[in-house]
Chains A and B, each alone.
Chain A
Amino acid sequence: MTAERHQQHDVRLQIAGLALQRGFRRLVTDFDLTCAPGDIIALQGPNGSGKTTLLRALAGFHTPASGRITLSRAQGDEIEEQGEVLSFLGHQDPIKAGEKLIDQLRFWADLCGASRDRVTETLARVGLTKQADLQGGVLSAGQRKRAALARLLLEDRAIWLLDEPASPLDQEGRALLGTLLDQHARRGGIILAAVHDPLPGVTARVLNLGTHESEVAA
């Protein structure tokens, strides 16, 4: 455990009057949300209700039709660059078929400036030590998701945007996901996850998209 691992995150996320559009279809209108450190939010809603689009808008990939997304630190200064504080785990796993798993994670470590020494340790944390020297192409869907989680841990950013994180994971994998989510929230991280089943291991605030009303549950 390094010292940096214990460091608390202090990023806030504020969404005001957000409207999202795909083609001519309005998916989300007047969406407001404020997340403080430690918040876990489960986005629910039928297929096509805009869960993924909302996550992609937060990550800066999709331009909202209107509204404002603000990321700020506790001291109050705004953060311009999403890449400083946001990690995104989409439904595609960025795993290359022809490269060893360990090399792929080393690449992500290099790209986000994490120490290379943490790669083996992180692989152990997600239970992929034995698969480290396998090519990406032979990994199963669940193993690929675990590898993507390892990337999230390496990046060590405050806000996690997760799109269906649990879907290909087995029982043990879901328990692992629960532990990771819990640890992240305890450190002051924010988690927004698009899900159909409840997130394992943690209590989340549930937001329903598509019904145009948000309710607090669990």
Chain B
Amino acid sequence: MSLLRACLAILKREVRLGWGAGGGALLSASFFAGSVMVAPFGLGPAPDTLGKIGPGYLWLALTLASLVSLERLFQADLEDGTLDQMLLSPVPHSLQVLSKILGQWLAIAAPLLAISPIAALLVRVEPEVILPLCAQLAVGSIGLFLIGAIGAALGASVRRGGLLVALVVLPLYAPSVIFGASAAAALATGGDFFSQPFLFLCALVLAALAFAPVAAAAAVRLHVD
């Protein structure tokens, strides 16, 4: 299966480059950890307030942390000509983009999600809610990376394009954050794991899985000319 082999190669390379020297895969995770760590100082350590805000705050931190890494998603490949070569490969470009996004997700979001249970403890989320909440964060983070890739692709040729990318992406993030935070609130008040907002979030992620790679591939193609 040469198609599968090519996609896996792209995915593995993203992880290898992310974790290699100067890859910066831990940037998002440290941003996430840092923003959760200062939450008790900013919001007050009282368990009842913090516990109420906590689940939603984790979503906020996840959203902003995933923005941090977006700028470089396509930029490095555009600058060094890797993108030219990938366009000339027989693998459909949208599939390449999908593999790239999933590779970045593995490299960047996996460490973030690994520390999310500890982060949840810090913002006083009820212990029995922590694991389901983190599972929902994991599902949501895939969606955030996919949607964010569209903005990253549009801003790929802009120097210091982080601001532009954030401006494009933040409105697109809104639905995921709204449904994600409502699902978290439902969990915290003793609701089901598969609550209505979480099902909506899953639908959003699936839609993004289908459309975002195509949109990002088309957008990134514009910069090659």
Contact = CB atoms under 8 A, between A and B. Distances in A.
B86 A111 contact: yes
A93 B82 CA distance: 8
A93 B20 contact: no
A81 B90 contact: yes
A151 B89 CA distance: 12
Interface string B121-147: 000000000000000000000000000
B201 to A, nearest CB: 33
Given A99-B17, A110-B6, A113-B2, A83 B84 contact: no
B6 A94 contact: no
Nearest to B12: A107
B21 A83 contact: no
A138 B77 CA distance: 19
A183 interface: no
A135 B21 contact: yes
For chain B, what secondary structure do more than half of its interface residues adopt (helix, strand, loop), or is it mixed? helix
Interface residues of B, number: 29
A112 interface: yes
Contact of A112 (B13, B20, B87, B90): B90
A76 B22 CA distance: 49
A99 B16 contact: yes
Contacts of A87: 88
Interface of A: 56, 59-63, 81-84, 86-88, 90, 92-99, 103, 106-108, 110-113, 135, 151
